[in-house]
Amino acid sequence: MSRPGVASKRRKVLIVDDHPIVRQGLRAMIDAERDLRICGEAATEREARAAIRELDPDVVVIDLSLEQGDGINLVRDVHAHHPDIALLVLSMHDEAIYAERLLAVGASGYLMKKAAADQLITALRCVLAGETYLSDVVRHSIDERKRLSADEPTKLSARELQVLGMIGRGVSSRDIAAALSLPACAR
């Protein structure tokens, strides 16, 4: 029974993406929903951490490829310090490579940016309900990988994936070493 003056609570969504046009599009799409509202936006890992502390969102939509910072570290740390916040990764990176690893470090779901708009809303509601959201393709892939795991070669570590992602974005070896606090090789 609902009390007078108490409407169903709109769940708070924080968007973390370094592209303003993406944040604007996500805001328009999510704010159009009766049960969801954008409580804030962040373009960097640092801004995201501050916004999470200040805004106390119910769910954070995180892009993996932030110009300043790293989405994987952000997912890991937010999950460790705020386990009650649902974390939905929305990325251009191949879900077959990243989804399982991100679930292992605390993501509640993984959605490709090329997915249909209604899938984002479905994914948000799914993770807010405490469930895990993955596409059917990834679910099948994870199930198949588990079945074949005894024959599978060693997977890349989280750090190796991080380096690979930075290489893919064209970051130099020296800048990767600096960003990851690794000693640079002397020449």
- Alpha-carbon distance 55 to 45, whole Å? 15
- Which pLDDT score, from 0 to 100, does residue 116 have? 84
108 is a domain residue:
yes
80 is a domain residue:
yes
pLDDT tens column, 74-112: 999 999 999 999 999 998 887 777 888 889 899 999 998
Q: Which of 4-8, 72-76, 165-169 has the lowest mean pLDDT?
A: 4-8
- Alpha-carbon distance 184 to 174, whole Å? 6
Band of pLDDT at residue 61, cut at 50, 70 and 90: very high
95 is a domain residue:
yes
Amino acid at 123: A
Nearest to 71 by CA among 36, 37, 42, 29: 42
177 is a domain residue:
no
Structural domain including 125 reads 11-134
142 is a domain residue:
no
User: Hey, what are 92's tokens?
Assistant: 């251009």
Secondary structure (H, E, C), 147-165: HHHHHCCCCCCHHHHHHHH
Domain count of the fold of the chain: 1
45 is a domain residue:
yes
- Alpha-carbon distance 110 to 120, whole Å? 10
- Which pLDDT score, from 0 to 100, does residue 97 have? 76
Q: Are 57 and 16 in contact (CB under 8 A)?
A: no
CATH of the domain at 37: 3.40.50.2300
- Alpha-carbon distance 187 to 84, whole Å? 47
Residue 7: Cβ within 10 Å count: 8
**At which residue do the structure tokens 């997912």 appear?**
75
DSSP, residue by residue, 116-150: -HHHHHHHHHHHHTT--B--HHHHHHHHHHHHHGG
Band of pLDDT at residue 161, cut at 50, 70 and 90: confident
69 is a domain residue:
yes
- Which pLDDT score, from 0 to 100, does residue 42 have? 96
Nearest to 123 by CA among 139, 114, 134: 134
- Which pLDDT score, from 0 to 100, does residue 162 have? 83
126 is a domain residue:
yes
Band of pLDDT at residue 1, cut at 50, 70 and 90: very low
Band of pLDDT at residue 153, cut at 50, 70 and 90: low
- Alpha-carbon distance 10 to 35, whole Å? 4
